[in-house]
Amino acid sequence: MTLKKLSVSALILTGLNFTCFAQNTASLAISNDSKLTISKHIYGQFAEHLGHGIYGGFWVDKSLPVAKQDRIRLDVVAALKEIKIPNLRWPGGCFADEYHWRDGIGPTEQRPRMVNTNWGGTTEDNSFGTHEFLQLCSLLGCEPYIAANVGSGTVEEMSKWIEYVNSNSTSTVAKLRKQNGHPDPYKVTFWGIGNESWGCGGSMTPEFYSDQFKRYASFAKNYPGAPLKKIASGPNSDDYNWTDVIMKNIPDWMMWGISLHYYTVPTGDWGHKGSATSFSENEYFETMVRCLKMEELVTKHSAIMDKYDPKKHVALVVDEWGVWTDVEPGTNPGFLYQQNSLRDALIASTTLNIFNNHCDRVRAAALAQTINVLQSLILTDKDKMLLTPTYHIFDMYKVHQDAKYLPVQLTSPDYVVDGKKLPAINVSASQDSAGKVHISLTNLDLHNNITISTSLKDIKWKKVTGQILTSANITDINTFDQPDKLHLINFTGAKKDGDNLVVVMPAKSAVTLELE
């Protein structure tokens, strides 16, 4: 997939004058003193049976005039392969705890239908099931992450599902998989033991859930070549007691990770979350305050985990995150379809910087969600497809996957609105296996360019190149009539100054630099 790239000077000619605002300054120091790796699984994605995420997104009608393998849409696959998505979480979400896997195997015409009670009351025909999902992951070249049904399922059901996909034995369940067209085991290692067990997954207390986890996990068996990474259903946002109880009651050897779910709701009011496309600067500011709360959440949950797991065996898995706005006018409120603006891209870059900087504990995550739902990477309309601004952030940030983490020390000016302030700049950095250094910077200030003077300790480099995502307005979006309004362009606002790096960050922009 080829993305259009222009120089910053070309942008100025098209009306984006980066030099018309006052300039502030920031200082940044980047060290090479680290043995940590930024796990590629931080860049994971999420596909739930919700709205047009699966049906009409990944899995389309046979008559739709687009390239397909079976009913998997291949232009979507190509776009996601371009950004190297490392994992895909499925089938939910809240849907996971009402999903019974046996309904989604065997001849399609014989699969039972069900009502999706969580998302719009639609009829689910189960045409997209285990084999279809794992075929999709194979086409994407990513690892599957399956969320098992704890809320309305049984231990046996989960145990047999794992056996079905991972066992190469002659058991009845393994033979059934072979009869359904896949002789070899799939070797799925990422398994969530329930989802949001504090809420839609069963309204459990942490004490009750931790006992259930131990029970279910005891029967989640390893098969040859597929050691399980069992992920406990973790807290909702700032429920620190949930994390404390789970970490206290479940031995660290029994779980690979504990999940954390947090959504950036622009207004903070779940009844009226705010528009995805029409908002004031004050509303933008409050949204970014709520986005930055992720730093506090990760820090405090990690501190609790450190108390019980000082060697950091257990990963913090932020497997639902992103901005959640009101749905687009005229769309089904149960389908959670929202547009995606430059604001949402800056939420993505800021959040990924937070995860990168906490890679000692955050070792997997999943944006909610991949297509047509919430903060999507991709939007579709019949045969049309567009890449959102958030997609371009993931494209720009893919250089950090499995790269060496480089610690950063940042002194940032404030972005001030009506006397309230937040740090204008956020950053993360890494070094890849070829020795190239990548620095990702976000400027949240809507008005001011910011000059960043960067010291690179013990890092040798000769030249710098970069990419930028920005636009004239923070509310700008890509549409099916104008799908490339926001896209990556070449960035020329960075230069070498002796041993230091000087970067002029345009207002409301995200930049990734490459030093070599």
The pTM assigned to this predicted structure is: 0.94
**140: domain range?**
40-401
**Bridge partner residues of 494 (DSSP):** 503
User: What was the pLDDT predicted at 458?
Assistant: 87
Task: Choose, from 132, 143, 196, 286, the residue flagged as catalytic.
Answer: 196
User: What was the pLDDT predicted at 4?
Assistant: 36
Answer yes or no: are the C-beta atoms of 124 and 113 closer than 8 Å: yes
Q: What is the pLDDT along the chain (516 residues), one digit of tens a residue?
A: 333 333 333 333 333 444 344 459 999 999 999 999 999 999 999 999 999 999 999 999 999 999 999 999 999 999 999 999 999 999 999 999 999 999 999 999 999 999 999 998 999 999 999 999 999 999 999 999 999 999 999 999 999 999 999 999 999 999 999 999 999 999 999 999 999 999 999 999 999 999 999 999 999 999 999 999 999 999 999 999 999 999 999 999 999 999 999 999 999 999 999 999 999 999 999 999 999 999 999 999 999 999 999 999 999 999 999 999 999 999 999 999 999 999 999 999 999 999 999 999 999 999 999 999 999 999 999 999 999 999 999 999 999 999 999 999 999 999 999 999 999 999 999 999 999 999 999 999 999 999 999 999 889 999 999 999 999 999 999 999 999 999 999 999 999 999 899 999 999 999 999 999
Question: 3 lies in a domain?
Answer: no
What is the Cα–Cα distance from 446 to 321, expressed in whole angstroms? 23
What is the Cα–Cα distance from 328 to 277, expressed in whole angstroms? 9
Residue in the block written with tokens 């709520």: 290
What is the Cα–Cα distance from 383 to 145, expressed in whole angstroms? 28
Report CA 486 to chain centroid distance, whole Å. Answer: 20
437 and 367 in one domain?
no
Q: What is the CATH number of the domain that holds 256?
A: 3.20.20.80
- Domain end position, chosen among 340, 369, 401: 401
Number of C-alpha atoms within 13 angstroms, CB side, residue 79?
Answer: 22
User: What was the pLDDT predicted at 306?
Assistant: 98
User: What was the pLDDT predicted at 8?
Assistant: 36
388 and 329 in one domain?
yes
Question: 15 lies in a domain?
Answer: yes
Answer yes or no: are the C-beta atoms of 193 and 246 closer than 8 Å: no
What is the Cα–Cα distance from 265 to 279, expressed in whole angstroms? 13
15 and 163 in one domain?
no
Distance (Å) of CA 193 to CA 208, 209, 329: 14, 10, 36
- Residue 122, classed as helix, strand or coil, is strand
Question: 1 lies in a domain?
Answer: no
Q: Where are the beta strands (DSSP E) in 18-172?
A: 23-30, 37-38, 44-46, 68-69, 72-73, 87-90, 114-116, 122-124, 143-148
Containing 8, the helix (H) or strand (E) segment is helix 8-13
What is the Cα–Cα distance from 205 to 236, expressed in whole angstroms? 12
Number of C-alpha atoms within 13 angstroms, CB side, residue 46?
Answer: 28
425 and 389 in one domain?
no
User: Measuring CA to CA, which residue among 438, 439, 448 is closest to residue 410?
Assistant: 439
241 and 363 in one domain?
yes
Task: Choose, from 320, 328, 514, 516, the residue flagged as catalytic.
Answer: 320
- Domain end position, chosen among 339, 369, 401: 401
DSSP string over 422-472: EESEEEEEEE-TTS-EEEEEEE--SS-EEEEEEEETT-----EEEEEE--S
User: What was the pLDDT predicted at 5?
Assistant: 36
User: What was the pLDDT predicted at 314?
Assistant: 98
Give the Cβ contact number of residue 181 at 10 Å: 10
Question: 13 lies in a domain?
Answer: yes
299 and 323 in one domain?
yes
User: What was the pLDDT predicted at 457?
Assistant: 82
Answer yes or no: are the C-beta atoms of 95 and 152 closer than 8 Å: no
User: Measuring CA to CA, which residue among 175, 149, 152 is closest to residue 164?
Assistant: 175
Q: What is the CATH number of the domain that holds 500?
A: 2.60.40.1180
Domain count, the chain: 2
Q: What residues contact 274, with CB distance under 8 A and at least 6 apart?
A: 265, 266, 267, 283, 287, 325, 326
Question: 2 lies in a domain?
Answer: no
Q: What residues contact 310, with CB distance under 8 A and at least 6 apart?
A: none
The yes-or-no answer on residue 196 being catalytic is yes
422 and 300 in one domain?
no
Instruction: Tell me how far apart the terminal alpha carbons of the chain are, to the nearest angstrom.
Output: 25
**Cα angle vertex 465, ends 462, 470, to 5°?**
155
Question: 69 lies in a domain?
Answer: yes
23 and 73 in one domain?
no
Q: What residues contact 124, with CB distance under 8 A and at least 6 apart?
A: 49, 113, 114, 115, 116
318 and 437 in one domain?
no
DSSP string over 343-405: HHHHHHHHHHHHHHHTTTTEEEEEEE-SBSSSS-SEEEETTEEEE-HHHHHHHHHGGGTTEEE
Torsion of CA 104, 204, 230, 55, to 10 degrees: 30
58 and 31 in one domain?
no
418 and 389 in one domain?
no
User: What was the pLDDT predicted at 50?
Assistant: 97
Question: 444 lies in a domain?
Answer: yes
- Domain end position, chosen among 401, 424, 448: 401
391 and 462 in one domain?
no
